Amino acid sequence: MTQAVDISTHVAQAGEELAAFIARHPKLWILTGAGVSTDSGIPDYRDADGQWKRSPPVQHGDFMASQAVRQRYWARALVGFKALREAQVSGAHRALAALEKMGYVEMLVTQNVDRLHQRAGSKKVIDLHGRADTVSCMVCGYHMMRHAMHSEMAQLNPRFAALDAGHAPDGDADLETDFSSFKVFDCPRCQGILKPEVVYYGDVVPPARRQAAQAGLEKSAAVLAVGTSLMVYSGYRFCRDAHAMGLPVASLSLGVTRADALLTHQWRAPLTPVLEQAVRCLEVR
């Protein structure tokens, strides 16, 4: 039976209950989503009901097939990527890194592409959907850092580089204008399409990465989903698999999840203070 704690429940109670869950299942397989990074200034995709807050992100097929889609994507990224570039680790990232240092984490699988878990000190991390700070050529495999590509595009597009707009998830920007004049920087080696090393919607997680995450799950005692609605199948599938394996599945988030019917424990509460309280409780055990 799901043990639900409403968002209004005192943070201390949720943290103490989470600490008790972790202590009972010390080999945790943790899955994190965009909610972990909102305190770092990176917007998330969905509201508390699991619905889109804005238009869905770009589809892999559209990005690859359409020059106009790539112009729009890179123009907006040129404006919005600074939210990712300048983001600092949050208390939630630090608390999860602390849990690993205390020996409670078997594996941390993140759906985020911001690399903030690694910057916070987590070592056992799988970037399920890749990373946003690097790009590669879809033809020849040429690899370069994202900031270097943005520097090239800023020189090609000084008017766009000077624009400002609200930040959107994963380095996007809430910018709408005529993008037809934007000059996309293509692969300097073969002129192929450069794409962030991120799994876009409509693409698939590389098999080796998925298999590594699955292997970690099979060594774990329980699953804890943090800051994710689990609406994306690539993350939800692991909760489904854990449930089939008979593992406890818990969630800490602000709203509903796709896996609500599978959960053994659920805390709808603010992430950072609850995680920090859980760490404090575990430190005195």
| Closest by Cα among 194, 198, 209, 206 to 141 | 194
Question: Has residue 173 got a pLDDT over 80?
Answer: no
Q: What is the pTM of this model?
A: 0.91
So what's the pLDDT on residue 57?
Answer: 76
Write the pLDDT tens digit of every residue in 16-41: 999 999 999 999 999 999 999 999 98
Question: pLDDT exceeding 90 applies to what percent of the chain?
Answer: 77
Question: pLDDT exceeding 70 applies to what percent of the chain?
Answer: 90
Give alpha helix (H) positions in the chain. 11-24, 60-65, 67-80, 82-85, 91-101, 116-120, 146-156, 158-161, 207-218, 233-244, 271-283
Average pLDDT, the chain: 91
| Closest by Cα among 25, 52, 28, 9 to 232 | 52
Q: Are strands 222-226 and 28-32 parallel, antiparallel or unpaired?
A: parallel
Other beta carbons within 10 Å of 215: 11
**Phi and psi for 133 in degrees, rounded to 5?**
-90, 5
Higher pLDDT, 7 or 158: 158
Write the pLDDT tens digit of every residue in 213-265: 999 999 999 999 999 999 999 999 999 999 999 999 999 999 999 999 999 99
So what's the pLDDT on residue 79?
Answer: 87
| Residue 129 is a catalytic residue | yes
Residue 222 CA, chain-centre distance (Å), reads 20
Known binding-site residue numbers for Zn(2+): 137, 140, 187, 190
Q: Which residues pair with 198 in a beta bridge?
A: 130
Residue partners of 82: CB distance under 8 A and separation at least 6 = none
Residue 94 CA, chain-centre distance (Å), reads 15
Question: Has residue 76 got a pLDDT over 60?
Answer: yes
Question: Has residue 147 got a pLDDT over 80?
Answer: yes
Question: Has residue 12 got a pLDDT over 50?
Answer: yes
102/274 Cα distance (integer angstroms): 17
**Phi and psi for 240 in degrees, rounded to 5?**
-65, -45
So what's the pLDDT on residue 7?
Answer: 45
Question: Has residue 115 got a pLDDT over 70?
Answer: yes
User: What DSSP letter does each residue of 213-253 carry, written as one string?
Assistant: HHHHHHT-SEEEEES----SHHHHHHHHHHHHTT--EEEEE
**CA dihedral sign, ordered 8, 9, 12, 14:** negative
Question: Has residue 6 got a pLDDT over 70?
Answer: no
146/152 Cα distance (integer angstroms): 10
Q: Which residues pair with 105 in a beta bridge?
A: 28
Which is catalytic among the residues 129, 150, 167, 265?
A: 129
pLDDT confidence tier of residue 165, bands split at 50, 70 and 90: confident
pLDDT confidence tier of residue 1, bands split at 50, 70 and 90: very low
Q: How big is the CA angle at 91 (ends 247 and 103), to the nearest 5 degrees?
A: 45
Q: Could you tell me the domains of the chain? A: 3-283 (3.40.50.1220)
Averaged pLDDT for residues 191-201: 95
pLDDT confidence tier of residue 83, bands split at 50, 70 and 90: confident
109/216 Cα distance (integer angstroms): 9
